[in-house]
Each structure stands twice: as structure tokens, then as C-alpha cells.
Chains A and B, each alone.
Chain A
Amino acid sequence: MADFLSGYSIQSWLQSCPQGYLENTDFGHPAGEKEPEELLDNETFREDAIRTTVQLVVGERAALAASSGLINAAPDVGSKMFLATQTLDEARHVEIFTQRLLDLGVKKDELESVINTYANANLVKFAEVLLEKVDKQDFIAGVVGQNIVLEGMAFSVFEMMHATNEAANPKFAHTLTGTIADERRHVGFGENRIGSLIKENPKRKPEIQKMQQEMTYHMLATFADSFKANSDVVEQAQDQASPDIKPAVYHGVDLNRADATEMEAVLADTVLGEFKTRLGRIGLEYLSPAA
């Protein structure tokens, strides 16, 4: 185990991130890149971008609280080290998405009220289920909830957003490239670290699977709310787009031409598929919230 965890050392993190893909970036993107004028000048698009970014801030704040809270619960120093780097990654994510809100025109003294206004109630509940385990210092449940469920969701959501924004908003797409790179490590740690602990503690499985089921319910409800809220925006954006716009393909679906319902479906299918695969690899059974 010592060898596998050495890959998650702080030295490795330093060489990968500040000296790697974060070098010469400002809040995750090359200095000088800005939100597109078409977005900032259109009140409907701007509000939609704010609403979406608020969910990212809420999610990352939960991830920050979870990863930092799990350090003291970690049974070995290697895991503590990794979680220290994850804490910093999550803080960076909070910062860059908060900065995006400022870039989208939200005033500094209005930040908290904007976040409170737009934060999705189901996403808040999703976070509460996870943080209950963290507060009890339950390392196994905490890492499954955080590094498999939350990070697994974030990974797929970021990839989808990246596909949508690559051509239309390079600044945001570049920001997301860095977060995707971070999430890879987080998800990887979750899978690699927890598998053996689940084997050693098989009696914990039902309760952890129940937690996953509850988190998945709130996640799907968040997706439903979000795509319902932005269905008009999606339609308007597609109406205004050039007919020659290049496809933005995400798991076989062209996001530049799909409607909100199709987008929700592909995201949900992708995330749930990933859950089943990852949970299966670590010896847990995926429980559908519909069950």
C-alpha cells in the first residue's frame, strides 16, 4: 500500500499541478481570457451561467468540508497526505468558480446572497448526507460518498460542461480542464484506497450502499431541476447559433443540437453508469434511488 499511496504524495502533487498544468494560469485559465461578450451582454444567458456556477460553488464547498474533515479520520499517513492535496484542490475549485461569479458580474458584497438564492435545495441535501458521515469521522463512508459519488458526479458534469464550452467559451473550458485533471486523482484515490477497506469491513456495505442511494436520489433531482430551469436558455442558444456550428459531442450526443431533456438523460446515464462500474470495482452494489 505504501507504494501506491506514494503516487499521491505532496511531492507528486507539486510536480503535477503548480509545476504542471496550473503553471502560468490565473484562476485556472491563461491570464487575460474573459467570458464571451455574447454571454455577458445577454441577461438570460448570464443569469443561467450564474445559476450553473452557483451549483459548482456549492458542490465544491461541500467537497472542501468533506476532504478536510476526513483527514483526521484517515487510518494512515499516506491517506492523510492525499486528502491534504485534495483539500487544496477543492479550495482551488471553490475559488475559481467563485471568481467566475465575479467575472459574470456578481458583486463581491452580493456573493453570499446570490449563492443562497440560486443554490439548489437538492444539491444542499446531497451535501448534507455526505457531511453527516464526515462529522461522524466515518472514513469508509466518507470516502465512498466523497471520492466515488460526489467526485464521480463532478467528473462527468465537468466533462459535459467542457464539451459544451470548448468552442463557445475557451476561458471556462480551460478552467474546467484543470478541475477535470484534479478529479481524476480524487476518483482514483477513492477506488484504490477503499476497495481493501470494504473487503475488511463487509458488514458496512448495506449502510454505505444506502448512503449512495440517498445521494443519488438528490443528485438526479438536482439534474432535473437544473435542466428544467435552463431548457429555454438551451433553445434560445441553439436558435442563435450558426447552423454550421461544430458538434460538441458528449457520449454520442451533440450537445449543440440536443434539447435539455436529452442532455439531462445523457448526463444521468453517464453518471449512473460510472457509479455502477466504480462501485462494482470496490465491491459495492449500486442501489437505484427508484428501488
Chain B
Amino acid sequence: MTDAIDPHALSEEDFHAEVHSFQFWLEAVEGYLAGTEFGFDAGQTDETFTLPELSDLITTLCNYCVAEKTALEASSGMIRFAPSPDAAIFLSTQVADEGRHLEVFVHRLKMLGIEDPWQEIDNRANRSLLQFKDRLLEFVDQQDWEAAIFVQNVLLEAMEFTVFKAHASSADPITSAILAGVVKDERRHMGFGENDLGRKLRQAPHTRTRLNQINKELNPLVLSTFSEIAKELKLNTHQGLSISSNYLATIDRLGFST
């Protein structure tokens, strides 16, 4: 087994090469996915839900599937115009992560008795989220790297990270385990986006104006989605505000107004 290495002693170039590599991803996910099946310990037994609880959970999971399918399509589409081979390799790991997220959420829906998850997703998809998705995929089709990275890896991933974290803390054990694994992946995606965009904004400050416009356009959709999810998850006011404020802090760090 390899000896411990002090990550803080790495040069910046070596650090970036390391964390964007497939090898890093492989050794990272091995830590928390080994021995799991569809994101949780196969030996876990499921809770019993009341009908309203079940319905809310199903709606929430359906919207998670919309988000993850969007992320899968966006991240795979971005590989073609990634600015470097390292970025392409990192996005490949994100593609696998997003595929896995979609798979585990669909699997959870089936466990909860949904025979046709895709029909259910169509029936319950949040309209704001669908609009957000369409806009993101437009940027990907246009091969607009800055816009796509901003919307996908900053906005969408930050949204998912905060919601999944909040939900994991109050969910039933199986859903919570699934979400905990997903959150671990989202850290990498969010971090990649924030750091890549942060560097680009320093090099080309005029990009900020354009992305600020996009942010203003999509913010209402994000906050509307938060509001719906907070209702489904039965979050209290404090918890609901916490989701929004964590998300807004991410936007703020990059210097965007809200």
C-alpha cells in the first residue's frame, strides 16, 4: 500500500494533474463505493412510508433524475470541446459519476414501486428545472465552454450539492446512503467548475459581464426549484434558507451578483 503523501507540498501543476486524473478518481471512489450496490449497503432494509411521504419522495427523486440526466448529457457533450486533455479526462470521470447518479436514483424509484420510472419522471418533472436543462444544453450545443461550465458545474452542481446534503440529513437510511455517495462526487464537480471558471475570470474579466447575464436569467429558475424541493422535503424555514444561502455563497465567491 502506498505511503501517505502530503498534498500541500505538491506544486500547483502537479496538484492539478493529480486531481484531474482518472487514477485519482479511481482511488477516490474506491473508498466509498466498494461493497455498495446501487449506492447503498445491499443488506440494508427499507423503511415503511406513509402514502404522502412516499409521493413526496418519489417526486423529489424524479426531479433528481431530471437533474442527473441533464448533467450526464451536458458533461458528455462538453468533452468534445474541452480546452485541454486533462479537462477532457476529468469530464469523463464526471460523465461516469452522473451516469451512476441517474442509475442509483432510478433504481431507488423502482425499489419504491415505480414500474415505469421514465413515465413517472415525465409526469412529475419540475418545470423550472426543465427550462434550466434546456438552457444548459443550448450552451453545450453551441460549444460555449465558459457558459456551459458555469451553468453545469457551478450552478447545477452547487444546487445539487446543497439540496442533496440537506436531504441526506433527514432522509430514510437507504436514500440517505445513496445521497451521501452522490454528494462526495458532487464535491469534485463543483470544485472543478468553480476553479476552472475562477481562473478564466481572472484571465478574461470581460467574460464576467456575459456570465452575470446568464446568472441573472437562471437564478429565478434555481430559486424556484429550491422552493419546490423544500416543500417536498418538508424543510423548515431555516433549512430552506440554508440551502439557498449555501448556493448563493458559491455564486458570491466567484464575484457574481444575485
CA distance A23 to B21 in the complex (A): 16
Closest to B23 in A: A27
Q: How many A residues, CB 8 Å from partner?
A: 34
Evaluate whether A72 and B77 lie within 8 angstroms (CB atoms) in the complex, with A9-B103, A27-B23, A77-B118 already known.
Answer: yes
B37 sits at the interface (CB 8 A): yes
Q: How many B residues, CB 8 Å from partner?
A: 33
Q: How many A-B residue pairs have CB under 8 A?
A: 98
Closest CB-CB distance, B28 to chain A, in whole Å?
10
B215 sits at the interface (CB 8 A): no
B220 sits at the interface (CB 8 A): no
Closest CB-CB distance, A110 to chain B, in whole Å?
14
Interface hits, A77-121 → B, CB 8 Å: 77, 80-81, 83-85, 87-88, 90-92, 94-95, 98
With beta carbons under 8 angstroms apart, the residue of B33, B77, B98 that contacts A69 is: B77
State whether A64 touches B79 (Cβ < 8 A).
yes
Stretch of B84-92, B128-136, B144-152, B198-206 on the interface side: B84-92
State whether A92 touches B79 (Cβ < 8 A).
no
B34 sits at the interface (CB 8 A): yes
State whether A90 touches B103 (Cβ < 8 A).
no
Evaluate whether A94 and B89 lie within 8 angstroms (CB atoms) in the complex, with A64-B79, A72-B73, A87-B79 already known.
Answer: yes
> Dominant SS at the A interface?
helix
Closest CB-CB distance, A10 to chain B, in whole Å?
4
State whether A85 touches B96 (Cβ < 8 A).
yes
Residue of A9, A19, A87 most packed against chain B (CB within 10 A): A87
Interface hits, B103-149 → A, CB 8 Å: 103, 106, 118
State whether A10 touches B92 (Cβ < 8 A).
no
Closest to A26 in B: B23
Chain B 186-212, CB-CB to A under 8 Å as 1, else 0, gives 000000000000000000000000000
Residues of B that sit less than 8 Å from A by CB: 2, 21-23, 26, 29-30, 33-34, 37-38, 69, 72-73, 76-77, 79-80, 85, 88-89, 91-93, 95-96, 98-100, 102-103, 106, 118
Residues of A that sit less than 8 Å from B by CB: 9-11, 13-14, 18-19, 22-23, 26-27, 31, 61, 64-65, 68-69, 71-72, 77, 80-81, 83-85, 87-88, 90-92, 94-95, 98, 135
Other than the known A27-B23, A81-B103, what 5 A-B pairs have Cβ atoms closer than 8 Å?
A: A18-B26, A31-B2, A87-B76, A91-B22, A95-B22
